């Protein structure tokens, strides 16, 4: 489970009165799709679910969205123009700088001066519950039932989506942007420099003992051949940069050889109870292993303090390769993808290591839903039109237009003999330039649907083998050891009270566990001597209540989904 962005409860409490006032003054068009659509400034009634344009008369929607560095101008964007021509809906854009999206969202919700739609601004589950109950966000269930042709197709192909966006009261207040990334669903990987293994005639390690011996050889046998003891056998980064997650921390991959330890540090155990890994005996043994790597000089001391950008700088050390291994979701954790050095091609995945007690686990996260991408507010005079616009974007061709650009220019449908990343018949070929600022598409902004069938259906390009490599490494090395999906904590919706309680408890626990992890690894704290005190401290921080709150939310969400 991806970490939730917790809504600041102090802000919620101080603005509650404003919210109630905004709800009562912003319109009464929240009763569902049976209203037939507004007229006047909002536009005309919508056409049937399978017809375009969406409205016979020109309709205007005010959409507030976060800026996207890859999009030059949403107002003059070619996809925006195409969308307006197809739907007869004109968009008035309010584009918020990326650095102030969260602040602007909170201020907008507090003021009651709402746009028709809030799009791609990270509306959290907690915000959906709070503002949905206050009728600031409209429930979308009726619109989905009446108009959601593509939305319902998405629910059928990706069953986890609907349950992940349904609150405990059975309402859906926000549409998602599912982006099913096969290799990302097993993101706790380890990357090792294959040329060093080859030079030293070492096999790929399969156990924690073999991994230790490989790192020892990297340190002592001069694999880069420069006659200097400058090799860094193993490194990591506990601090993310703007684009990476915490899966670059030293424990993220290795701990799964001792106990199941997803990077979220929370999971469902075999008794269907919410649980954590950091109070288990396996965590203690994993800490002792990491301490051994540190004490024997096989772990970079900076691995406990640097950020992900600094880790890449180690991998891209000018001239001479000095980094042997590090964990991360893909090769970009250790080197620049498609960089001038080309080193990313030489870092390969280490399969899950077997620990001394036979533990050998791959973390798994199937909940790649990206919720909160499209919210219709109570200010919207034609919510039917707004919903139908979003539903249209889930169509496969529309998603490709939104994400890549113009068909037969930036992408095309695959030919019969073309093969996708997964070795099966391809769906489309990408002919665009990724990562550049352009004005042809929205670059994944807004609701769109990218299931595995689409992502892995991209034509395999021998000139750019990254996608094929990541699929193969994940399929062959990690999937065989993947945990049962039942052990994955699903996306949860908390009540306002639960959110407030969890925010305090989780920060206290996370900060302490992270502090002690660093102390155990460096030897600043003796693992055997201080383990009992460590456990009692966690318990005194009310771990029991922390798990109870999660269990309550988990049970409520299961009930709502059933």
The DSSP output letter for 408 is T
Rounded to an integer, what distance in angstroms lies between the CA atom of residue 500 and that of residue 8? 8
* Cβ atoms within 10 Å, residue 298: 22
Q: What is the DSSP string of 125-136?
A: HHHHHHHHHTTS
- Do the bridges between strand 89-96 and strand 59-66 make them parallel or antiparallel, or are there none, so unpaired? parallel
Rounded to an integer, what distance in angstroms lies between the CA atom of residue 247 and that of residue 18? 40
Question: How many angstroms separate the most distant Cα atoms in the chain?
Answer: 78
Q: What is the DSSP string of 339-400?
A: -TT-GGGGEEEEPPPB-TTS---B----------SEEEBTT-S-HHHHHHHHHHHTSHHHHH
Place of tokens 């000089």: 297
Q: Are 128 and 137 in contact (CB under 8 A)?
A: yes
* Cβ atoms within 10 Å, residue 417: 7
Cβ neighbours of residue 171 closer than 8 Å, sequence gap 6 or more: 132, 139, 140, 141
Euclidean distance between the first and final Cα of the chain, in Å? 20
Q: How many CA atoms lie within 13 A of 337 on its CB side?
A: 14
Rounded to an integer, what distance in angstroms lies between the CA atom of residue 442 and that of residue 404? 8
State both tokens at 532: 């009992």
Rounded to an integer, what distance in angstroms lies between the CA atom of residue 288 and that of residue 532? 15
Rounded to an integer, what distance in angstroms lies between the CA atom of residue 219 and that of residue 242? 31
Q: What is the pLDDT along the chain (562 residues), one digit of tens a residue?
A: 333 333 333 333 333 333 333 333 333 333 333 333 333 344 579 999 989 999 999 999 999 999 999 999 999 999 999 999 999 999 999 999 999 999 999 999 999 899 999 999 999 999 999 999 999 999 999 999 999 999 999 999 999 999 999 998 899 999 999 999 999 999 999 999 999 999 999 999 999 999 999 999 999 999 999 999 999 999 999 875 444 456 899 999 999 999 999 999 999 999 999 999 999 999 999 999 999 999 999 999 999 999 999 999 999 999 999 999 999 999 999 999 877 789 999 999 999 999 999 999 999 999 989 899 999 999 999 999 999 999 999 999 999 999 999 999 999 999 999 999 999 999 999 999 776 889 999 999 999 999 999 999 999 999 889 999 999 999 999 999 999 999 999 999 998 889 889 989 999 999 999 999 999 999 999 999 999 999 999 999 999 999 999 999 999 888 776 6
Rounded to an integer, what distance in angstroms lies between the CA atom of residue 145 and that of residue 152? 8
The DSSP output letter for 5 is -
User: Residue 416 burial by CB count (10 A; 0-12/13-18/19+): exposed, middle or buried?
Assistant: exposed
Domain ranges of the chain: 9-182+369-403
What is the pTM assigned to this prediction?
0.86
Rounded to an integer, what distance in angstroms lies between the CA atom of residue 107 and that of residue 113? 9
CA 239 and chain centroid, separation: 16
Question: What is the pLDDT, as a whole number, of residue 246?
Answer: 62
Rounded to an integer, what distance in angstroms lies between the CA atom of residue 382 and that of residue 376? 10
Question: What is the pLDDT, as a whole number, of residue 243?
Answer: 43
Question: What is the pLDDT, as a whole number, of residue 43?
Answer: 53
Which residues share a beta bridge with 377? 137
Domain 9-182+369-403 has CATH 3.40.190.10: yes
Q: Are 291 and 227 in contact (CB under 8 A)?
A: no
Helix (H, G, I), strand (E, B) or coil at 234: strand
Rounded to an integer, what distance in angstroms lies between the CA atom of residue 182 and that of residue 148? 26
Cβ neighbours of residue 255 closer than 8 Å, sequence gap 6 or more: 261, 277, 282, 283, 286
Helix (H) or strand (E) holding 505, with range, is: helix 496-522
């Amino acid at each position: 489970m991806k970490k939730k962005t917790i809504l600041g409860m102090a802000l919620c409490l101080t603005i509650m009165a404003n919210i109630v006032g905004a709800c009562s003054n912003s319109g009464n068009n929240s009763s569902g799709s049976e209203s037939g659509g507004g007229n006047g400034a909002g536009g005309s009634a919508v056409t049937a679910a399978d017809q375009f344009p969406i409205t016979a008369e020109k309709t205007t929607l005010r959409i507030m969205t976060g800026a996207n560095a890859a999009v030059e101008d949403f107002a003059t964007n070619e996809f925006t123009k195409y969308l307006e021509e197809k739907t007869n809906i004109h968009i008035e854009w309010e584009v918020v700088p990326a650095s102030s999206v969260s602040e602007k969202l909170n201020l907008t919700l507090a003021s009651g001066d709402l746009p028709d739609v809030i799009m791609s601004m990270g509306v959290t589950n907690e915000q959906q519950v709070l503002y949905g109950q206050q009728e600031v966000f409209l429930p979308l269930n009726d619109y989905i039932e009446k108009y959601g042709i593509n939305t319902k197709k998405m629910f059928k192909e990706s069953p986890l989506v609907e349950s992940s966006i349904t609150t405990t009261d059975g309402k859906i207040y926000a549409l998602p942007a599912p982006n099913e990334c096969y290799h990302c669903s097993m993101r706790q990987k380890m990357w090792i420099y294959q040329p060093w293994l080859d030079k030293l005639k070492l096999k790929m390690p399969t156990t924690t003992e073999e991994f230790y011996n490989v790192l020892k050889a990297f340190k002592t046998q001069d694999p880069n051949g420069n006659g200097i003891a400058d090799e860094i056998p193993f490194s990591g980064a506990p601090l993310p940069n703007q684009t990476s997650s915490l899966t670059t921390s030293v424990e993220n991959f290795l701990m799964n050889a001792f106990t199941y330890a997803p990077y979220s540090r929370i999971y469902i155990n075999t008794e269907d109870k919410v649980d954590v890994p950091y109070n288990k005996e396996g965590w203690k043994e994993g800490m002792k292993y990491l301490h051994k790597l540190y004490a024997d000089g096989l772990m970079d001391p900076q691995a406990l303090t640097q950020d992900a950008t600094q880790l890449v700088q180690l991998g891209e050390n000018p001239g001479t390769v000095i980094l042997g291994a590090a964990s991360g979701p893909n090769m970009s954790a250790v080197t620049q993808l498609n960089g001038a050095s080309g080193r990313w091609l030489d870092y390969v995945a280490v399969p899950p290591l077997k620990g001394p007690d036979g533990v050998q686990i791959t973390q798994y996260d199937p909940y790649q839903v990206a919720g909160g991408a499209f919210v219709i507010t109570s200010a919207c005079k034609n919510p039917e039109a707004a919903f139908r616009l979003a539903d249209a974007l889930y169509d496969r061709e529309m998603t490709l237009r939104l994400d890549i650009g113009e068909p037969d220019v930036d992408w095309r449908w695959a030919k019969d003999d073309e093969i996708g990343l997964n070795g099966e018949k391809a769906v489309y070929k990408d002919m665009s330039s990724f990562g550049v600022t352009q004005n042809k598409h929205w670059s994944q902004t807004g609701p769109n649907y990218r299931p595995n069938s689409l992502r892995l259906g991209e034509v395999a390009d021998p000139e750019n083998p990254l996608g094929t490599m990541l699929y193969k490494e994940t399929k062959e090395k990690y999937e065989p050891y993947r945990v049962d999906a039942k052990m994955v904590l699903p996306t949860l919706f908390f009540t306002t009270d639960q959110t407030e309680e969890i925010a305090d408890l989780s920060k206290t626990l996370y900060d302490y566990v992270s502090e002690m992890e660093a102390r155990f690894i460096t030897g600043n704290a003796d693992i055997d001597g201080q383990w009992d005190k460590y456990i009692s401290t966690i318990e005194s921080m009310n771990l029991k209540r922390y798990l109870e709150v999660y269990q309550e939310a988990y049970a409520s969400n299961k009930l709502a989904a059933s």
